[in-house]
Structures are given as structure tokens and as C-alpha cells.
Amino acid sequence: MAATKRKFMAVTMKPELYAKAQAVAAKRDLRVTAWVRDVVEAELKNLVMTDTPLLEWREHLPPHADKLQAGWLLCKEKNPSLLNQCYQLCITAKRRGITRWSADAMFHVLRWETAASMGDNGLKVNNNYSSLAARDLMAEHPELEGFFELRARKPRGNHGQIH
């Protein structure tokens, strides 16, 4: 793993467990941190998930995907009806004569409408995903082409969030 790709994890152990970890790592001629990482990775690979897979969604990302796209894919996986609900709102807006709309407004209306049925504050969806939702909706539904104004996403390396 390249140094730029590393993510560090702090692990606190009881002293007696740390002594055992040191002994096992020494037998394998490894540093304790390397041995702990190996154990954690092995456990995660063997982990059986009953709900959403923990790491599986990353396998389906395009090679150029960023964190925002990854989060959006996970959000759609957790809320399979999200895009259909958004589409229904857009069609209703178009029928009322609205020719252009804000994806942020769409999310806010959706939260408002789901608050009664879901309790709390309604649907949980990050506002940062609104541009990706607009792109997905227009790609899947040609009748929504041009309904949302799209801006070019900022390339990596720029300051601020990539939209």
C-alpha cells in the first residue's frame, strides 16, 4: 500500500492483550501494528453482513470515482425508492408549469413530504448529493433533460467540495 493511500487506525488494547499481540507478532517477524492490521483485514473479509455490505459498494465504482460519488451510490443503495420519489416530484412540478427547478429544493420538498410518514425530520439525504441526483434523473428520464441547470464539477485539487 502506497504511503499516500494509507489510513491510520488507533487501537487501544488492554495491557495483557497487547503483550499477547507482541508475542504473536514477534513469532511472525512483524511489527505489532502490521499484525493488528492483518487481523482486522482478515476479520472484515470474513464478516457476513445481513444488511448493506460494508465494503462491497466500492467494487462497483468507476476508477475515477470520488468520495462524493461513492457516498451517493451508498445513499441510493440504502434508499432504493429515492430516485423514483424525486422523479415523481419533478413530474408534478412540470405538470404545474415549472420548466426549471432546483435539485436542492427537490430534496427539501421530499424531506417535508416524508417527515409525517417517517417521523423525525423525514428522509435523510445529504444536500451535497443534489447535483448527482439531478444528473441521474436527467440521464434516466429524457423528459427531464434541461429541467435542472448543471454546472461542471470541479476537478480534484481545487479548494472546496467537488460538486
Do residues 85 and 134 share a domain?
A: yes
- The residue with greater pLDDT, 90 or 3, is 90
What's the pLDDT band for 136 if we cut at 50, 70, 90?
very high
Query: Averaged over 41-60, what is the pLDDT?
Result: 58
Q: Is position 94 within any domain?
A: yes
The predicted model scores a pTM of 0.55
Which domain, by its residues, includes 114?
63-144
Look at residue 76 in the predicted model and tell me its pLDDT: 87
Q: Is position 161 within any domain?
A: no
- Output the DSSP codes for 69-130: HHHHHHHHHH-TTHHHHHHHHHHHHHHTT--S--HHHHHHHHHHHHHHHH-TTS----GGGH
Do residues 21 and 79 share a domain?
A: no
- The residue with greater pLDDT, 137 or 56, is 137
Summarised one tens digit per residue, pLDDT across range 61-76 is 555 557 788 888 888 8
Q: Is position 24 within any domain?
A: yes
Q: Which triple of cell numbers denotes residue 124?
A: 435523510
What residue type is assigned to position 149 of the chain?
E
Do residues 121 and 85 share a domain?
A: yes
- State the total domains in the chain: 2
Do residues 86 and 123 share a domain?
A: yes
Look at residue 22 in the predicted model and tell me its pLDDT: 85
Do residues 68 and 133 share a domain?
A: yes
Q: Is position 154 within any domain?
A: no
Summarised one tens digit per residue, pLDDT across range 24-36 is 888 888 888 777 7
Look at residue 48 in the predicted model and tell me its pLDDT: 54
